[in-house]
């Protein structure tokens, strides 16, 4: 026997079985399908489990059953509520169904995601959550070959990899332009992070502004993810281009907060000279002074639906390939 047995303390299913006077398979049933075991057998087995301190080995179980009971979730970052909210509910819902979620942080960049997906497939996830809807063809093939159910969130596409729960960022940007237009604005500005979804929001905004015959007085690209200071610096940068009344769309609430903060410092009246709309409905949009207008997307709900669809799919049910969740403009003091 090998030196592995140094750690001889590890209790395995056969030990429990012996202690309870049953076959290993019965112990397995007590753990996984207790309804198929008689009450007192189950009781005896549970006592043995407790007494020996048995911790089942899901690695072995997974190899045998070909189900890892693990779902991989890949998001750019969890440092933003944008992604931490859906991840949280996604994890909760799946947890209750007996799945663990393995989180992968891809950063903002194609390469990171590709490598991560490849790496995580190595653990044979039973399902997968991906952020965004544009993935390399290599990845899509990989996922298809692996036969892993996939939910994409936070974006939309006419050709989802598999299932999708998201919304249209360009449409959202357009809605913000409409909102400003309805308030009589004719001069617009937009500050957007360089990631693909922020870019889509900006493009939707700009397109609609043009359709309304509006004038785009300033447009800047910020790093992704962008923060408060990026918003402040950007406003300082474009302050000279502002007309007597400009409507600004920021790609996140952090950016919008930075803009408002800097506007106050520069003596630019919000919303009189500068109307501001953010994105995300983060805590700060609601709790800072003044609270500011933003676009809310229910990330938590997105996570829940994504989890529910994945579960349904794994149960063999048919699931809609695309679910669009609503966004709505939350009107507060800044616009």
Positions touching a copy of itself (CB under 8 A) are 4, 7, 9, 53, 55-60, 62-63, 66, 68, 70, 77-79, 81, 84-85, 87-88, 91, 100-103, 105, 118-124, 142, 145-147, 227-229, 232, 254, 257-258, 261-262, 264-265, 283-284, 286-289
Indicate whether 140 belongs to the interface with DNA (CB under 7 A).
no
147, two tokens: 């036969």
Residues whose CB is less than 8 angstroms from the CB of residue 5 and which lie 6 or more positions away in sequence, other chains included: none
From the list a copy of itself, DNA, none, pick the one residue 269 interacts with, judged by a Cβ distance below 5 to 8 Å according to partner type.
none
Indicate whether 142 belongs to the interface with DNA (CB under 7 A).
no
Of 106, 117, 325, nearest to 224 by C-alpha is: 106
- What is the Cα–Cα distance from 62 to 320, expressed in whole angstroms? 28
Indicate whether 43 belongs to the interface with DNA (CB under 7 A).
no
From the list a copy of itself, DNA, none, pick the one residue 121 interacts with, judged by a Cβ distance below 5 to 8 Å according to partner type.
a copy of itself
- What is the Cα–Cα distance from 197 to 299, expressed in whole angstroms? 15
From the list a copy of itself, DNA, none, pick the one residue 185 interacts with, judged by a Cβ distance below 5 to 8 Å according to partner type.
none
- What is the Cα–Cα distance from 84 to 89, expressed in whole angstroms? 9
Nearest distance from residue 146's CB to DNA, in Å? 12
In the window 61-80, what residues touch DNA (CB under 7 A)?
A: 61, 63-67
Cβ pair 160, 258 in contact under 8 A: no
Indicate whether 4 belongs to the interface with DNA (CB under 7 A).
yes
Nearest distance from residue 47's CB to DNA, in Å? 14
Other beta carbons less than 10 A from residue 333's beta carbon: 14
Indicate whether 3 belongs to the interface with DNA (CB under 7 A).
yes
Residues whose CB is less than 8 angstroms from the CB of residue 183 and which lie 6 or more positions away in sequence, other chains included: 247, 275, 335
Residues whose CB is less than 8 angstroms from the CB of residue 160 and which lie 6 or more positions away in sequence, other chains included: 133, 152, 321, 322
Q: Which is nearer to DNA, 44 or 215 (CB)?
A: 44
Cβ pair 297, 327 in contact under 8 A: yes
Q: Which is nearer to a copy of itself, 137 or 289 (CB)?
A: 289
Cβ pair 45, 30 in contact under 8 A: yes
Indicate whether 269 belongs to the interface with DNA (CB under 7 A).
no
Orientation angle between helical segments 169-182 and 196-211, nearest 10 degrees = 40
Please work out, in degrees rounded to the nearest 5, the angle formed at the alpha carbon of residue 169 by the alpha carbons of 304 and 113: 70
Nearest distance from residue 315's CB to a copy of itself, in Å? 17
- Select from 28, 68, 161, 251 the one that contacts DNA (CB under 7 A): 28
Nearest distance from residue 207's CB to a copy of itself, in Å? 31
Indicate whether 315 belongs to the interface with DNA (CB under 7 A).
no
335, two tokens: 């616009």
Residues whose CB is less than 8 angstroms from the CB of residue 205 and which lie 6 or more positions away in sequence, other chains included: 173, 174, 176, 177, 188, 190, 249
Indicate whether 138 belongs to the interface with DNA (CB under 7 A).
no
Nearest distance from residue 49's CB to DNA, in Å? 10
Indicate whether 23 belongs to the interface with DNA (CB under 7 A).
yes
Q: Which is nearer to a copy of itself, 117 or 218 (CB)?
A: 117
173, two tokens: 């940007």
From the list a copy of itself, DNA, none, pick the one residue 87 interacts with, judged by a Cβ distance below 5 to 8 Å according to partner type.
a copy of itself
From the list a copy of itself, DNA, none, pick the one residue 52 interacts with, judged by a Cβ distance below 5 to 8 Å according to partner type.
none
Orientation angle between helical segments 13-20 and 39-52, nearest 10 degrees = 120
Residues that bind DNA (CB under 7 A): 1-5, 10, 12-14, 21-29, 31-32, 36-38, 41-42, 56-57, 60-61, 63-67
């Amino acid at each position: 026997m090998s030196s592995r047995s140094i750690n001889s303390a590890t209790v395995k299913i056969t030990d429990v079985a012996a202690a309870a006077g049953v076959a290993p398979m019965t112990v397995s049933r007590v753990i996984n399908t207790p309804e198929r075991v008689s009450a007192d057998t189950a009781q005896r087995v549970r006592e043995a489990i407790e007494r020996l301190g048995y911790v089942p080995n899901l690695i072995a179980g997974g190899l045998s059953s070909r189900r890892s009971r693990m779902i991989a979730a890949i998001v750019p970052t969890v440092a933003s509520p944008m992604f931490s909210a859906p991840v949280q509910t996604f994890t909760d819902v799946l947890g209750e169904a007996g799945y663990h979620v393995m989180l992968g942080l891809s950063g903002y960049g194609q390469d990171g995601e590709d490598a991560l997906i490849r790496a995580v497939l190595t653990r044979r996830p039973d399902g997968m959550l991906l952020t965004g809807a544009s993935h390399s063809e290599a990845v899509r093939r990989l996922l298809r070959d692996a036969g892993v159910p996939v939910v994409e969130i936070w974006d939309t596409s006419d050709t989802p990899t598999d299932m999708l729960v998201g919304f249209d960022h360009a449409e959202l940007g357009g809605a913000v332009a409409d909102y400003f237009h309805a308030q009589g604005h004719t001069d617009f500005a937009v500050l957007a992070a360089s990631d693909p979804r922020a870019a889509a929001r900006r493009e939707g905004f700009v397109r609609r502004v043009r359709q309304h015959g509006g004038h785009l007085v300033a447009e800047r690209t910020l790093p992704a993810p962008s923060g408060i200071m990026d918003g402040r610096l950007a406003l300082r940068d474009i302050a000279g281009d502002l007309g007597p009344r400009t409507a600004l769309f920021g790609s996140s609430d952090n950016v919008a907060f930075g803009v408002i903060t800097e506007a106050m410092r520069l003596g630019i009246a919000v919303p009189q000279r500068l109307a501001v709309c953010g994105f995300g409905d983060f805590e700060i949009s609601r709790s800072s002074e003044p609270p500011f207008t933003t676009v809310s997307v229910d990330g938590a709900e997105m996570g829940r639906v994504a989890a529910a669809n994945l579960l349904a799919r794994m149960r063999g049910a048919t699931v809609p390939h695309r679910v669009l969740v609503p966004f709505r403009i939350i009107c507060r003091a800044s616009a």
